[in-house]
Structure 1
Amino acid sequence: MSNDVEHAKRALRAELRERRGLLSEAQREAAAAAIGERLDALIDELGARSISCFLSTLSEPGTREFVTRAVRRGIRVLLPITRADGLLDWAVATDDDATTEGLYGLPEPTGEVLGPIAVNDVDLMIVPAAAVDRSGMRMGWGRGYFDKTIGSMEKCPPVYAVIYDSEILDSLPREVHDQPVDGVVTPSQTLNLSPSRR
Structure 2
Amino acid sequence: MSSKDPGRETRPARSDRGGEDGGASPHTLPAAGDKHGWRVRFRARRAAAAQEDLRAESESLAATWRTEILTTLPRGATVCAYVPTETEPGGVRMLDDALAAGLRVLVPVTGAPGPLSWAQYTGSGSLRPARYGLLEPPGPVLAPSAIAGATLILVPAVAVDLRGVRLGRGGGYYDRTLPLAAPGAAMVCVVGDGELVDELPEDPHDVRVGTVLTPRRGVVRIDRH
Query: TM over 0.5: same fold?
Result: yes
Post-superposition offset of 1:138: 0.7
Structure with greater proportional helix content: 1
SS of the residue corresponding to residue 36 of structure 2 reads helix
CA distance in 1 between counterparts of 2:193 and 2:117 reads 30
Q: How many residues align?
A: 194
SS of the residue corresponding to residue 125 of structure 2 reads coil
Do the aligned partners of residues 6 and 151 (structure 1) sit closer, same or farther apart at CA in structure 2, a change above 3 Å counting? farther
Post-superposition offset of 1:6: 6.7
Give yes or no for contact 1:137–1:178 (8 Å, CA) kept in 2.
yes
The partner residue of 1:175 within 192, 203, 208 is 203
1:103-131 CA distance string (max 9 Å, x none): 32222222221111111111100111011
CA distance in 1 between counterparts of 2:138 and 2:89 reads 22
Q: Are 1:85 and 2:125 counterparts?
A: no
1:128-167 CA distance string (max 9 Å, x none): 1011111111110101111211123353501000100101
The worse-fitting range, judged by mean Cα deviation, of 48-57 and 93-102 is 93-102
Q: What's the counterpart of residue 15 of structure 1?
A: 41
Do the aligned partners of residues 156 and 104 (structure 1) sit closer, same or farther apart at CA in structure 2, a change above 3 Å counting? farther
- Using the size of structure 2 for normalisation, the TM-score is 0.79
Q: Can you give the 5+ residue segments of structure 2 that lack an aligned partner in the other structure?
A: 1-16, 22-33
Matches within 5 A, 1:41-56: 41-47=68-74, 49-56=77-84
Post-superposition offset of 1:194: 2.5
The worse-fitting range, judged by mean Cα deviation, of 95-104 and 22-31 is 95-104
Q: Can you give the 5+ residue segments of structure 1 that lack an aligned partner in the other structure?
A: none
Give yes or no for contact 1:89–1:114 (8 Å, CA) kept in 2.
yes
Instruction: Give the structure with higher Rg (CA).
Output: 2
Runs of 4+ off more than 3 Å = 3-7
Give yes or no for contact 2:150–2:181 (8 Å, CA) kept in 1.
no
Amino acid at match of 2:179: G
CA distance in 2 between counterparts of 1:28 and 1:100 reads 23
Q: Are 1:129 and 2:152 counterparts?
A: no
